Amino acid sequence: MDETKIGKDWYWGAIERETNQAVVEKIPNRKEEILTAKIWKYVEEGSTVMTDEFAGYYLHPRFYSHFAVKHCEYFVHPECNLIHTNRVEGLWAQLKREIERIRNNVKPEHIPAYINEYFYLKNHDKSQNPSFFPLYCHQT
């Protein structure tokens, strides 16, 4: 999980590694209580959480296993190559490229809706979601 700033707003996001499902929410700030609330909302107790070294992520160790990556020193943990935030960092980069590509056509107040659509489509692969199939068939 990670947080990023897009335009004037902060966003928190996480990716579940087994399913590759992503969740993103706009947040008012990066304070520990905000980040902890998102973790409690989306992460099952007993899960392993991987973040960067940002102090807002220091969790309650009896509920989660927490590994942090020190981006000032490395991007993949030197003792275990499974400890990283590359997926969520890559997701932010991809999303920001998309927003930059269309930014002249999107008003700042519509960016949250665009982000919602982006992640909905990311999480619902058209080829495996039958709800998209009838729409495709009717258009041919």
- Give the pLDDT band of residue 126 (cuts 50, 70, 90): low
Identity of the residue numbered 85: T
User: How far apart (Å, rounded) are the C-alpha atoms in residues 103 and 80?
Assistant: 39
**Res. 60: pLDDT tops 80:** no
2-11, 38-47, 64-73: segment of lowest average pLDDT: 64-73
Residues 6+ apart with CB under 8 A from 118: 95, 98
**Res. 133: pLDDT tops 50:** no
pLDDT for 10: 92
Strand partners, 5: 10
Class level of CATH domain 2-127: alpha beta
Residue 41 token pair = 């909302």
Segment 45-56 mean pLDDT: 84
**DSSP 8-class letter at 84:** B
The dihedral sign for the CA sequence 58, 64, 69, 75: negative
Identity of the residue numbered 89: E
